[in-house]
Structure 1
Amino acid sequence: IKICSKSWTEGYYFKPRADHELLQKYHKGLIALSACVGGELPQAILNHDMEKARKVIQFYMDTFGKDNYFIELQNHGLPEEAAVRPVLASLAREYGLGLVATNDFHYTRKEDAGSQEIKLCISTGKTLDDPYHFHFANNEFYCKSGAEMEAILGEYPGAIENTKKIADRCHVTLTFGDHKLPSFDVPEGETSTTYLRKLCEKALPERYPHPSGKERERLDYELGVIDHMGFSDYFLIVMDFIHYAKSHGIPIGPGRGSAAGSIVAYLLHITEIDPLRFDLLFERFLNPERVSMPDIDTDLCYRRRGEVIDYLARKYGKDQVAQIITFGTLAARAVIRDVGRVTNMPLRDVDKIAKMVPSGPGVTLKKTLEGSREFKELYESNPQVHSLIDHCLDLEGLSRNSGTHAAGVVICSKPVDDYVPIQLTQDNFIQTQYEKDQVEQLGLLKMDLLGLRNLTVIHDALEMIEKNRGIHLDINSIPTEDEETCRMLCEGDTIGVFQSESSGFTSLLMKLHPDRFEDLIPMVALYRPGPLGSGMAEDFIKRKHGEIPVEYPHPSLEPILKETYGVILYQEQVMQIASVMGGFSLGQADMLRRAMGHKEPEILQKNRDTFLEGALKNGVDEKTANYVFDLMVHFAGYGFNKSHSVCYGWIAWQTAYLKAHFRPEFMAAMMTCYIGDREKVSRYISDTKRAGVEIAAPDVNLSEAYFSVKGNKILFGLDGIQNVGENAVNGIIEARRKGGPFRDISDFLERVDSRGLNSRACESLIRCGALDSLGRNRSQLLAVLPEAMSNAQSVREDRESGQVSLFGDMDSAKTIIYPPLPDIPQNEKIEWERKLLGFYVSGHPLDAYKKQMAQCIPIYKLNSESAKYDGKAVTVGGTVTRVKGTMTKKGAPMGYVTLEDYDGELEAVVFPSVWEKARPVLTEDAAICIRGRVQSNEREVKILADEIIPLSLFHKTVRPPVSAVHLYVDERHENNMVSDALGRILLKYHGNTPVFLHIQRTRQEIRMVPRFFLDFSEEAEEALKGLLGNACVEGRK
């Protein structure tokens, strides 16, 4: 382990290298072989340097001992091997060393040679027809049998025998399950156990002002389990780094995973969720009947995660803290594309084959061959495809590249390389060479520190709220019932809300109609494939709204299932049912929950018998007990960790509350956090503008480095302007801080440090509108810029030479005369904004086509929900940013068009029949509408165009008009929240189509007043259906 680690950390030069000094230091207990023809000894022989060869042998004999150094013989059919073998055998006899027969083993079977060559090409970015691609001389580098080795090296019988003798001498002992926790430094006279209790006792009245026996009993129980299992140090270590983070202003999440079920974690401020209030179970986190390392995962600010890791390295020693490696593998679709590229198969053919493989977790090529008749027929009928897939089957699942685990950090009681081999990351931090599972199996302390952007957003928003409004808001003390927040969520206004941005989640949320924070907790658990696919989510919502009765399998289960309307939603509920009805301890119940997840028949039957026995003792009949056990088994597959649901539901509520009450500050924080993601920021800008919040171009007199808020207006940050560097931004902000707002361009150029403010930066500031507040239009500022810069340079030189002070306050700069020029046209202004800021800020070319765009599906929806739209006919609108013409195989002209709308970008494939008709309108910046079918894979989304027309004509050919819209309202809709939301939707999409309201309870039909008439666009229809349900919205012709 030491040699491997040092070669990666100290000897790395293109490849990890171990030198003689390293071998001398760590030789004990090792056997050394003389290596293949690339090794020191064979190379010396091939170079006819026998003196060096003898020195090499003597070094290894002296280092490892004569009995631990063997001369290696190989025969892969290489002429170099044939040349060195007799010399090696002779030297072995001369020095009395053993021979050993070996074979380089780069692939398992001989027939795998072709796949291994392809894998090398994938790794090096080459193709097989590249004459310089790295490859082996032949196909002999595989795991050969004893008979094969005898056939090629039989003339050296001792060498064959020594192979087994060496193997028999190798003994490695790895200790699994032995926890190697570092000790926490506690005050003198304390142990980790007593100190942990002291801290908890002190915090108890702070968290619970009037602690009852319930809180004290829970605390005593948890501390007893923690002490018995030997994890007091673990809690103190976690508490310490979280305290460090919070005391240094680093945002930490309220909790993550099952740790929120611990009152000890709550008292230590490791979590901010009260486990007693939400009925969370400690045993789901730490089971006293199943010894395993506790797992406290921590969400923290993604920008400052490194600071916490640095703190751990300083506290425990840089050599005792490491990040964890992770390996990217060749997945089913990806391996087809990689092998196709290496073998030069036409891209169109490769794409077609790859798209036949389903996307999603657990998909393999073997399963696809078994489950897809079309895929199997292509495989069996096409020799080229057969060869491609065979290679892919060999390579699928192999590691493609390595990286650093997004969260995992190891803390050891001794240097990390005492336990596992290490290497260095690109930023020179220690990283384990074992993945997280192996690290945990060896008993090392693994912490998951996950950078979560939403925590950064919350932190930045709170700072802006205090600066802009003078309000200091404690985000953990916001009300859990808030009408404005619930109204916003019920309307589907969820862009930017944690875990709620997808249309699927938004739709579910609108059906659920949350009226308090607690309603978001089940949402986190429900919005998963299992509950959605099984109908469990719909059933839950109907029970909540009283559409179907809430029933309990047995009266004793009502206290457990009441909050989820009789549905077993959480893993903790499975545990509680096992305890209350079956008489299990909560520790046993946790193991039962795990067993149900694995669904092993023998274990399930054994647990069923125990459950029935306990239920009978508790007065439950056998039929009911069997029914309940079957329910538990069924729902255990869908059950979610309630502790995690509470934690993430709370973050969702916090972000929703901030957006509902402090939208400008919250959205400015969102834009800053995702500044590198153009599509997301565009989407946030559009959403913010729709809500009536102005977004202004940057302003040197108001803007900060990033997005900021002044009043009810969001200002673009100076740091986001192309060609304006960090030095220039810092100089502008510093000059403004010292001397106040800039009066004119001369004042600006004279006061700002010129080191980062060159003519290109100044021109960019003018063109994007950042100097508009200086009192002149952009044309005038551009015209006088060279003169103003020259004057400012003269003023600075005079100031540095002391001349300015001789004349007191006399203005040494020449007066700038502005020419009477008209301002730059609006369309040119917004194009410069886009070029220099990456986004349209003060306007958008599509603003002139708002009605037409309302009929189109936003591109971000196609990109974010590609699986939903794959193969479906859609209509998109936007401006053309790129047109590329090409030819089909038959020589017909076709092309590719890149389309951009308010929120995203999409490529359209335009085949010859459409290309010929549409070519006249396909010019850059043209506003067009494309109808076609979506084609998506894991890498990209495209639209295959069926029709392309100017956007101005789109309304004439869009969906058939309706003469009236009929909305059907039943009892579940009859509340203020729904009626308010309905009114807002009708006003938002106001038009000329009459709206009729059908009240099912009274059987009334009401014609709405013209103020509530509708422009029945697809977007309006989607909003109404999201609020009322698909069956409750009807457009009549």
Structure 2
Amino acid sequence: MKPRIDPSSRLVLEERALPPVRPTPAAAGGFVELCARTSFSGVTIEGYGAVEGRSLLDARAAWPGAGLPDEVVARAALLGQDTVAIADVDTVAGVVRAHAAGRELGVRVIPGCELLLDEGSLVVLPTTPRGWSNLCAILTLARDGTRQRGLDKDDVEHRLDVVLEHAGDLMAIAWPPFADEALVRLRAAFGERLSVGVTLQDVPEDDVGLAFAHRWQGQGIPAVLSARPLLVDAADRRFHDVLCALRQHRLVARAGQRLLPNSVARQRSHDELRAHAATRVDVDVVDRWLARSRAIAQACTFQLGQLKYAFPVDDDDPCGQLRARAFAGARERYPHGIPADVVAQLEHELAIVADLDVAPYFLTVKDIVDVARARGILCQGRGSAANSALCYCLGVTSIDPVRMGLFFERFLSKERGEPPDIDVDFEHERREEVIQDIYARWGRDHAAMVCEVVSFRGRSAVREVGKAFGLSDVVTGRLAEQMLHGSLAELVGAADHAGDAGRARGRRPAAAAAARAVGVDGDDPAVRQTLAMALRLQGHPRHLGIHSGGFVLTRQKITDLAPVEPARMPGRAVLPWDKDDVDELGLFKMDVLGLGMLTCIRKALALVNDGVSSRAEQAGTPSSTSMPIARVDEADAVATAPAARRAPSAMSAVPLALHTIPAEDPAVYDALCVADTVGVFQVESRAQMSMLPRLRPRCFYDLVVQVAIIRPGPIQGGMVHPYLRRRTGEEPVHYPHASLRPILERTLGVPLFQEQVMRLAVVGAGYSPGEADQLRRDMAAWRKSGRLERHRQRLIAGFEKTGVDVEFADRLYEQIKGFGEYGFPESHAASFAILVYASAWLKRWFPAEFACALLNSLPMGFYGPSQIVADAQRHGVVVRVVDVNASEWDCTLERDGGRSAADAPALRLGLCLVKGLRQDVVTALVAERTRQGSFVDVADVVRRARLDKRARLALARAGAFDLLAGHRRAALWAALDTRPPLFAALRDEPPPLSAPTQGELLLLDYAHTGLSVDDHPMRHVRPALLARLATKLVGRRAPPYVDSRGVTHVRHGSRALVAGLVTGRQRPGTADGTCFVTLEDEHGSVNVIVWGRDFDRWRTTIVSARFLLVDAVIERQGAVVHAIALAVAAVTPSADAFGRPVDDRADAGVGLDQLALPFSSRDFR
């Protein structure tokens, strides 16, 4: 990977003059830094090692480095050093990144660690793979020991005895102060592999360190000199202060001696370090100390690339077993005979699998999928694995890659020589069952999850750095609110570019202006430092989390390869490396991913089948018959003719399953064409909804295109509009060359998928399949590695030789860079398209069941409960409020007796929506209601269900007691009555309480369930809106105001005022700063587009307002309607818009301030 810094910009020397000393050779025989730290130092699962309560000495010992691993390696390269050791405190989380950077820059990286023992600090460096295994064991046992003794999981407790037991093939450097007795024991265990460390950092402790080194040298332990660098260069000191303050939970201004006293502790060249040390020590002694660093480095021959990984094997002949299971699966997939081209493809793939010795991996994934399905868990492979006929025949994926003409080398190739990577989605609520099955089968000695490096991003960086500079939570919260999707760099960059010229013109920089707009003094030095240092902090590790599902399985003990940490989540063991790290080392990773839509589909199908069974029993019809259609596999929709439209009434006795959903239903595509897709997988975003009426999908492959087209690859490559024009006949279909037509025919001559780019490189530019895959890898990492540019001339020259138009080659190259941001492989899009169709089918024919399943599967998707319920109501679903006598934990369907079979059931909201209410409380309540019958009043509920005050108030505020108490105020009064049962007979009559107003109920509903089934905030805001803000916003010539229904009738190009509750903001990184805002009223929603040039003007309003009024130009493209913002204003509800709080004790503070209103927006990139 390319270094994240420009090394040439970071050479900063100490100001004071150094005496001349004899020059010595640099790289080949010179000094090697053996104790470099990075910002990964001390980072653990879910936090840093505990620093806050440490003594001053211990806090200093735990100081992190200021540079990322690749920055440290890049600096070493700039200084002419051929080797550097990374020795972060108590972790090896950053060493793989350093190893990758070293491979790119020609620097050998020694992976090590600094262990903080009670007796002192010890740097250990492995000399062999066995030494590395010993280091991994030390780290694993330290973490495991804290867990067994009930210590904080962020603590690391290294015991000297453990280190001594695992001293084999490790070099060790003891740093002063180190206990004499312990050092004697270390010398006995390590022998000549032990050294004492010397560093001179112009601090009083230097004298102690020199005395320590001289004393132990006299007893036969050699000394080694190190800069012991914490800084990449001197300019990092201020940033290092911030890092230390964050980890110690202190203010920078009050950290005092817990911060670096100077910038001497930085990476240094051989000559600079030698000259600096020679001011205190005889130069001959210095040279011996420097030479010792080179001798230690030469002894440490181990590098991470030497790790020998082996996947578990359960069969003596895994290749034979894989062949047998693949062809058995093929016979099931193709019951009328396996086509010849499928046989040929299976043979081709089996040969590659045998050459790469990865058959056990395929068998393992197959076993995991089979076990999950046996449990009734929906699952489906996706990603590049869907290019494999083996995966399809094994039942891992659902797309027939031969029929679709997919490109196997996108998944696996001999030339690449890398392990396969199969991603499998499982129901997100049941994924933990699968994870525990894996641990149970392979054991925690051979299975661990990869981590996710959680880095500081805009908002979190601003909040944390602001605390370190003494800003209040209110101020940092207001600043962070402006950081909409990575805009911190925009603000700080704008401030830098404005500079003195901007101030001379009387304008404040954008950062100061944005801060001032939210009531923060943008010229305050603490605010400006916060923004600058927060920008510097972005990308540095905050903590290590658990990856969404990446597993590494090993034949050898896993701690021979990496240390393992216990995660906070019970039953999890985690490696300190992320998915890119394990890929770098060639470890096989298997992704056990959670997908909410699979959960939703399974629940919806169960509800449909329950309803069909109920109607069948009422009608006396057997319910065990299969659906009266031919069995259609999920992917068969690609090639089958449209099936007959089947209304629910024709399915009176159907055990419906994902693979039996009727294919190619015209009614489903009709709904998709008008963007009726709230809750539908992958096509529910505003961008996708806008595209659907333009693309107008009419078959399964159209959905594949729909899923993939709203991605940076096609967008940045300028492929979207040509495809749409060709699809509508506005532009003729054209192919850049006849030889490329088979590749581009299905997408009308326009490349939309990664596989097409790879095939174009093979056919049009002469790449081999392996080289084409390298192109794919380079385009996936072009921003980091910079390796993509080497393909440009080869592609253009190759296309020219073939006779392909040069303009097409240039466009293709731009698209390749877009794919580097985010582009779908065709196989991945096809896998997702299956779920698009299934969810759209369920929504079209069973809206109540689908909405119920969506609500019971949250959180997922773009919409919250309020939007899902409102959409269901617009589709004719009757929605009923939470009720202690009718609701269960989940939302349910109520099929009232006497209704016709064709009638849809009513949707009863579940108590899971009540904020602050625990599931175990609801479980007990429902069990009591089932056992003893309905509750008669609030006191009856409290007594029988044994509700505590928190549960009583939660249910009362949410309206679950309304039918028992008469209205919400009476329910709250009853819930607050804490009289014990013994005195129930003495209960006084409740005081006469007036019923709350509709506005008061609305606030309570939104505050405590997130929605209202019979009201909307805009009904209360609109009267004041029209009277007060229209003239203020646009002057006397105000255009007409229209609601979400009326906007569909406004002529194209006309102005109108639109307003609503802000329910969504989306600012994609590829949209040139454009922000998409969704405004909702009681009738629907309006999509507002704020161009990037205008966003900064209205940033504060857009990101903080709960209600917006927009003066807009209405644009229509067929059925697509957009409101292009000309001006934006926040709508502040009048003081009487919603009425007073229902209960001052329960709801104190609920006012009309924008931040206090209980309405929230879901914001996305």
TM value normalised by structure 1: 0.72
Matches within 5 A, 1:440-451: 440-451=583-594
Matches within 5 A, 1:55-454: 55-65=181-191, 67-83=192-208, 85-86=210-211, 89-93=214-218, 95-130=219-254, 134-144=258-268, 145-155=272-282, 157-158=284-285, 160-170=287-297, 171-174=300-303, 176=305, 180-186=309-315, 191-210=317-336, 211-253=338-380, 255-330=381-456, 339=465, 342-343=468-469, 368=493, 373-374=497-498, 395=537, 397-427=539-569, 429-454=572-597
**1:238, distance to aligned residue in structure 2 (A):** 0.9
Report SS of the residue matched to 1:33: strand
Deviates more, 1:583-592 or 1:696-705: 583-592
* Alignment partner, residue 484 of structure 1: 667
* Alignment partner, residue 936 of structure 2: 744
1:472 to 655, 658, 668: 655
Report SS of the residue matched to 2:305: coil
* Alignment partner, residue 713 of structure 1: 906
CA contact (8 A) 2:138 2:163 kept: yes
**1:538, distance to aligned residue in structure 2 (A):** 1.8
**1:642, distance to aligned residue in structure 2 (A):** 0.8
**1:236, distance to aligned residue in structure 2 (A):** 0.5
State the structure with bigger RCO (CA 8 A, min sep 6), 1 or 2: 2
2:697 to 507, 514, 527: 514
* Alignment partner, residue 827 of structure 2: 643
Cα distance in 2, alignment partners of residues 364 and 669 from structure 1: 40
- Residue 863 in 1 paired to residue 1027 in 2? no
Q: Could you list the per-position Cα deviations for residues 708-751 of structure 1 after superposition, in whole angstroms to 9, with x for gaps in the alignment? A: 22243221112333464333311232234445x5273499649x
Cα distance in 2, alignment partners of residues 941 and 775 from structure 1: 40
- Residue 28 in 1 paired to residue 168 in 2? yes
CA contact (8 A) 2:938 2:971 kept: no
- Partner AA of 2:918 in structure 1: G
Report SS of the residue matched to 1:193: helix
Matches within 5 A, 1:955-1034: none
Q: Could you list the per-position Cα deviations for residues 892-950 of structure 1 after superposition, in whole angstroms to 9, with x for gaps in the alignment? A: xxxxxxxx99999x9xxxxxxxxxxxxxxxxxxxxxxxx9963169xx813599xx9xx
CA contact (8 A) 2:757 2:816 kept: yes
Matches within 5 A, 1:787-936: 826-847=998-1019, 854=1044, 856-860=1058-1062, 863-865=1065-1067, 934-935=1098-1099
**1:832, distance to aligned residue in structure 2 (A):** 3.9
Q: Could you list the per-position Cα deviations for residues 977-1018 of structure 1 after superposition, in whole angstroms to 9, with x for gaps in the alignment? A: x8xx99xxxxxxxxxxxxxxxxxxxxxxxxxxxxxxxxxxxx
- Partner AA of 2:382 in structure 1: R
* Alignment partner, residue 616 of structure 1: none
- Residue 734 in 1 paired to residue 927 in 2? yes
Shift in alpha-carbon separation, 1:582–1:220, aligned structure 2, 3 A: same
Cα distance in 2, alignment partners of residues 377 and 334 from structure 1: 31
Shift in alpha-carbon separation, 1:377–1:247, aligned structure 2, 3 A: farther
Cα distance in 1, alignment partners of residues 996 and 489 from structure 2: 55
* Alignment partner, residue 684 of structure 2: 501
**1:591, distance to aligned residue in structure 2 (A):** 5.1
1:457 to 597, 600, 603: 600
Percent same amino acid among aligned pairs?
Answer: 25
Shift in alpha-carbon separation, 1:230–1:90, aligned structure 2, 3 A: closer
Report SS of the residue matched to 2:923: helix
Cα distance in 2, alignment partners of residues 688 and 819 from structure 1: 39
Report SS of the residue matched to 1:283: helix
- Partner AA of 1:649 in structure 2: A
**1:839, distance to aligned residue in structure 2 (A):** 2.7
Supply the RMSD in Å over aligned alpha carbons: 4.8
CA contact (8 A) 1:335 1:392 kept: yes
**1:523, distance to aligned residue in structure 2 (A):** 1.4
* Alignment partner, residue 670 of structure 1: 854
**1:776, distance to aligned residue in structure 2 (A):** 6.6
Report SS of the residue matched to 1:318: coil
Shift in alpha-carbon separation, 1:408–1:967, aligned structure 2, 3 A: closer
Shift in alpha-carbon separation, 1:869–1:692, aligned structure 2, 3 A: farther
Report SS of the residue matched to 2:448: strand
- Partner AA of 1:942 in structure 2: S
**1:513, distance to aligned residue in structure 2 (A):** 1.1
**1:424, distance to aligned residue in structure 2 (A):** 2.5
- Residue 941 in 1 paired to residue 1133 in 2? no
Report SS of the residue matched to 2:543: strand
CA contact (8 A) 2:1065 2:1076 kept: no
- Partner AA of 1:479 in structure 2: P
**1:787, distance to aligned residue in structure 2 (A):** 10
Shift in alpha-carbon separation, 1:225–1:704, aligned structure 2, 3 A: same
CA contact (8 A) 1:492 1:506 kept: yes
Report SS of the residue matched to 2:1104: strand
Q: Could you list the per-position Cα deviations for residues 819-859 of structure 1 after superposition, in whole angstroms to 9, with x for gaps in the alignment? A: 99986655554444344424323434544678975463444
Shift in alpha-carbon separation, 1:737–1:634, aligned structure 2, 3 A: same
Shift in alpha-carbon separation, 1:559–1:293, aligned structure 2, 3 A: same
**1:100, distance to aligned residue in structure 2 (A):** 3.1
TM value normalised by structure 2: 0.65
CA contact (8 A) 2:274 2:286 kept: no
**1:299, distance to aligned residue in structure 2 (A):** 1.7
Report SS of the residue matched to 1:324: strand
**1:403, distance to aligned residue in structure 2 (A):** 2.2
- Partner AA of 1:208 in structure 2: Y
Shift in alpha-carbon separation, 1:818–1:633, aligned structure 2, 3 A: closer
Give the structure with higher Rg (CA).
1
Cα distance in 2, alignment partners of residues 788 and 114 from structure 1: 57
**1:564, distance to aligned residue in structure 2 (A):** 1.1
- Partner AA of 2:166 in structure 1: Y
Aligned residue pairs: how many?
860
CA contact (8 A) 1:325 1:434 kept: yes
Report SS of the residue matched to 1:934: helix
Shift in alpha-carbon separation, 1:679–1:230, aligned structure 2, 3 A: closer
CA contact (8 A) 1:694 1:714 kept: yes
**1:134, distance to aligned residue in structure 2 (A):** 3.6
CA contact (8 A) 2:733 2:748 kept: yes
The runs of 5 or more residues in structure 1 that have no matched partner are: 42-52, 614-621, 795-812, 879-899, 907-930, 949-953, 983-1037
**1:543, distance to aligned residue in structure 2 (A):** 1.1
**1:418, distance to aligned residue in structure 2 (A):** 0.6
2:142 to 7, 10, 27: 7
Shift in alpha-carbon separation, 1:611–1:959, aligned structure 2, 3 A: closer
Cα distance in 1, alignment partners of residues 766 and 488 from structure 2: 37
CA contact (8 A) 1:100 1:163 kept: yes
**1:239, distance to aligned residue in structure 2 (A):** 0.9
Cα distance in 1, alignment partners of residues 287 and 189 from structure 2: 25
**1:753, distance to aligned residue in structure 2 (A):** 5.2
**1:400, distance to aligned residue in structure 2 (A):** 3.3
CA contact (8 A) 1:128 1:343 kept: yes
Shift in alpha-carbon separation, 1:362–1:409, aligned structure 2, 3 A: farther
**1:491, distance to aligned residue in structure 2 (A):** 1.7
Shift in alpha-carbon separation, 1:903–1:8, aligned structure 2, 3 A: farther
CA contact (8 A) 2:761 2:795 kept: no
Cα distance in 2, alignment partners of residues 351 and 376 from structure 1: 28
Cα distance in 1, alignment partners of residues 664 and 1018 from structure 2: 39
Cα distance in 2, alignment partners of residues 84 and 345 from structure 1: 39
